[in-house]
Chains A and B, each alone.
Chain A
Amino acid sequence: MIELQNVSFAYGTKPVLRNVSFQLDQNESVVIMGPSGSGKSTILRLILGLATPDEGQVLVDGANICAMREKDKQEIRKSIGMVFQDGALFDSLTVGENVGYYLIEHTRWTWQEIEAKVTEMLGFVGLDADEIIDKLPEQLSGGMQRRVAIGRALLSTNPKIMLYDEPTTGLDPQSTENVLQLINKLTRERRISTIVVTHQIADAFNVSDRFIVIHAGEVAFDGTTRELRDSKDERVAAFLAPFKSSFTGVAEREFLNS
């Protein structure tokens, strides 16, 4: 479904990804982890065709998105839902306009028809439409913003794949739990393939049992929960080390010491 083949990418002269390869099959979930600045989010941008690799290729359903014209990329993007870091909601639009953005831009539906879809979608992501549909994103909590962003992605595309960029970063435990439940609901009930980028292990093992660890732009690890815990790779150990000693990362310590 998605395959990265020997992908290298640099921002100017600064290399970000080096020879990255992995594959995601249909109905599969994977968590991409790694320290900040390791190139995790760049991988999502490459999959969406928002950036072009310097070397290698990114295949979506067998088609190389890197070689496509913008118009063809837009067709591919219709099957990919993207939840950006911090939601990336349009701050000058209301929640309703954000969630219905795609329909407003690409259809001739009336606002009443769009509003009905938006209300339904907000309900699906666990939000009360009557309460928030006319609010601006800044008036919502971080957790609500992420759920609105998920709703927008679902209503904008007919996703076979969902990409989440740090979906729980900065959220309180309750909001984190709500967002993770929603991700799992989508993955299991709608059988959507999922890529979650995060640097929080506790979240990672809540949404998948396959992990990819990116270190200095390279794939340092690609395997299951057990393989991750038992990995002798120094780079993986270096990434996991802070969680073992962290007093705040209770869930991470339980996982790593189990």
Chain B
Amino acid sequence: MIRSLFGPPFYFQETLEQMYLIGIGSLYLVVLTGLFSGQGFALAFSNELADFGAKNYLGRIMSISIVRELGPTLTGLMIAARVASGITAEIGAMKSSSQIDAMLAFGIDPIKKIAGPRLITLLIMAPVLTIVCDVIAIVGAWVIAVYISHVSSTLYWACVFERLTFGNMFFGIIKPVIFGFIIAVIACYKGFSSEGGTKGVGQATTNSVVLASITILMVNFFVTKVIYPYIKGYL
């Protein structure tokens, strides 16, 4: 599958089509996720911070938690739920109806043709969607900060931008790239290895989403743990 990224033929049209389906198609999900999780977190944090008289630091906390952890993880989970299931079901259905065999019979490498464009798409679109989620979540939190917690708008944005450091943004970009890779590999593998007709495709789809979601959560921890010492100075 990794080899499919290199060497001809390149399936530009399929990749663009997948970018539209996966990227634009997931936009509403990511926007809603970012908006409500950002607002929920802002509400919870502002109440807690108010007890210590530290409400003005809300922007700072939201910036760190969303960019570094919440945005990548929630976006990864949403993409896993929507896209991994779709990819596995599509490939599984193609396999059970012999369309994969037909491709091979006509000299097409199905890994290159099907998995390649989806992998490239997820490597690109997962970070893009994460940035969208981050922005929406921070804006959603701003609404709560200004209109409910009565934090100064200027102060909120100053705190947000103060914490948009190279280190935090690096975390926020590298994680979704890894999550996109995980989702593509698991979803395609589960699709190509599905057996047992419709029932098998259903099971493979469920397993794909569960495995991708759990792996994202686990890998998120390990990436934070491994990268943190190297990036500490830039946070």
Q: Which A residues lie at the B interface, using CB under 8 A?
A: 45, 48, 50, 70, 74, 77-78, 80, 82, 84-86, 88-91, 101-102, 105-106, 156-157
Q: Compute how far the CA of A89 lies from the CA of B106 in the bound complex, rounded to whole angstroms.
A: 12
Q: Compute how far the CA of A176 lies from the CA of B102 in the bound complex, rounded to whole angstroms.
A: 22
Find out whether the CB atom of A90 lies under 8 angstroms from the CB atom of B99: yes
Find out whether the CB atom of A77 lies under 8 angstroms from the CB atom of B105: yes
Residues of B within 8 A of A50 (CB): 101, 104-105
Find out whether the CB atom of B102 lies under 8 angstroms from the CB atom of A77: no
Find out whether the CB atom of A102 lies under 8 angstroms from the CB atom of B102: no
Q: Can you name the residue of chain A whose Cβ is closest to the Cβ of B98?
A: A88
Find out whether the CB atom of B97 lies under 8 angstroms from the CB atom of A88: yes
Find out whether the CB atom of A84 lies under 8 angstroms from the CB atom of B107: no
Q: Tell me if B174 is interfacial: C-beta within 8 Å of chain A.
A: no
Given contacts A74-B107, A106-B107, contact A82 B102 (CB under 8 A): yes
Q: Compute how far the CA of A86 lies from the CA of B99 in the bound complex, rounded to whole angstroms.
A: 10
Residues of A within 8 A of B97 (CB): 86, 88, 91
- How far is the CB of B45 from the nearest CB of chain A, in Å? 46
Q: Can you name the residue of chain B whose Cβ is closest to the Cβ of A101?
A: B106
Residues of B within 8 A of A105 (CB): 9, 106-108
Given contacts A105-B106, A105-B107, contact A45 B99 (CB under 8 A): no
- How far is the CB of A94 from the nearest CB of chain B, in Å? 15
Q: Which B residues lie at the A interface, using CB under 8 A?
A: 9, 97-99, 101-102, 104-109
**Which 5 interchain pairs have the tightest Cβ spacing?**
A88-B98, A84-B98, A74-B107, A88-B102, A82-B105
Q: Compute how far the CA of A78 lies from the CA of B107 in the bound complex, rounded to whole angstroms.
A: 8
Q: Compute how far the CA of A80 lies from the CA of B97 in the bound complex, rounded to whole angstroms.
A: 20
Q: Can you name the residue of chain A whose Cβ is closest to the Cβ of B102?
A: A88
Which of B99, B104, B107 has a CB less than 8 Å from the CB of A102? B107
Q: Can you name the residue of chain A whose Cβ is closest to the Cβ of B101?
A: A50
In the complex, how many residue pairs between chain A and chain B have their CB atoms under 8 Å apart? 46
Q: Compute how far the CA of A84 lies from the CA of B97 in the bound complex, rounded to whole angstroms.
A: 9
- How far is the CB of A119 from the nearest CB of chain B, in Å? 20
Q: Compute how far the CA of A71 lies from the CA of B221 in the bound complex, rounded to whole angstroms.
A: 42
Find out whether the CB atom of B106 lies under 8 angstroms from the CB atom of A85: no
Residues of A within 8 A of B98 (CB): 84-86, 88
- How far is the CB of B14 from the nearest CB of chain A, in Å? 11
Q: Compute how far the CA of A64 lies from the CA of B31 in the bound complex, rounded to whole angstroms.
A: 56
Q: Compute how far the CA of A91 lies from the CA of B108 in the bound complex, rounded to whole angstroms.
A: 16
Residues of B within 8 A of A74 (CB): 107
Residues of A within 8 A of B105 (CB): 48, 50, 77, 80, 82, 84, 156
- How far is the CB of B25 from the nearest CB of chain A, in Å? 15
Residues of A within 8 A of B99 (CB): 88-91
- How far is the CB of A2 from the nearest CB of chain B, in Å? 15
Residues of A within 8 A of B108 (CB): 105
Q: Compute how far the CA of A5 lies from the CA of B179 in the bound complex, rounded to whole angstroms.
A: 48
Residues of B within 8 A of A156 (CB): 105-106
Residues of B within 8 A of A85 (CB): 98
Which of A80, A84, A101, A157 has a CB less than 8 Å from the CB of B101? A84
Q: Compute how far the CA of A101 lies from the CA of B99 in the bound complex, rounded to whole angstroms.
A: 12
- Other contacts beyond A102-B107, A105-B9: 16, CB < 8 A: A45-B101, A48-B101, A48-B105, A70-B109, A77-B106, A80-B105, A82-B102, A84-B98, A86-B98, A89-B99, A89-B102, A90-B102, A102-B106, A105-B108, A106-B107, A156-B106
- How far is the CB of B31 from the nearest CB of chain A, in Å? 28
- How far is the CB of B53 from the nearest CB of chain A, in Å? 59
> Which of B97, B105, B109 has the most A CB atoms < 10 Å from its CB?
B105
28 contacts between A and B (CB under 8 A): A45-B101, A50-B101, A50-B104, A50-B105, A77-B104, A82-B102, A82-B105, A84-B98, A84-B101, A84-B102, A84-B105, A85-B98, A86-B97, A86-B98, A88-B97, A89-B99, A89-B102, A90-B99, A90-B102, A91-B97, A102-B106, A105-B9, A105-B107, A105-B108, A106-B107, A156-B105, A156-B106, A157-B106
Q: Compute how far the CA of A91 lies from the CA of B98 in the bound complex, rounded to whole angstroms.
A: 11
